[in-house]
Amino acid sequence: MTDFKINHREGDGVSVIELKGYLDAHTAPQLENAFQTLLNSEKYNILVNCRDLSYISSAGLGVFMAYIEDVRKNHGDIKLTNLSARVYNVFDLLGFPLLYEIFKEEREAIGRFKVRPRS
């Protein structure tokens, strides 16, 4: 019933993950896998583009919490861009904007990663 897709691309030393559709308890493991794959290949600059993300549940938010600590320990970060008003509202209710940097556009976000791996 729930449709969820993840697209992954690399650019400028930043791994961009594009989310599409419903992120809930059923689809959360897919995002977990995507994060785990990046961490395994030591990619810690992660930008999550939520342009086509239509819904996120608390289980979906949990995925971000599960990886942020490891990512930051390695001087990387998870940044979010292009949130729809509805998705932003869910993040905001829980206070996520205090924990994650959220940007309007990818362009703004890419410049804000601290460590730029030599590419």
Binding residues for other proteins (CB under 8 A): 24-25, 57-59, 61-63, 65-66, 69, 90, 93-96, 98-99
Q: If you count them, how many residues does the chain have?
A: 119
User: Using alpha carbons only, what angle is made at residue 40 by residues 36 and 44, rounded to the nearest 5 degrees?
Assistant: 80
Q: Which is nearer to other proteins, 1 or 41 (CB)?
A: 1
Comparing CB distances to other proteins, the nearer of 98 and 118 is 98
Q: Please state the φ and ψ torsions of residue 83, each to the nearest 5 degrees.
A: -80, 135
DSSP 115: -
Q: How far is the CB of 44 from other proteins (least distance, A)?
A: 17
Return the DSSP state at 101: -
Q: What minimum distance in Å lies between the beta carbon of 27 and other proteins?
A: 13
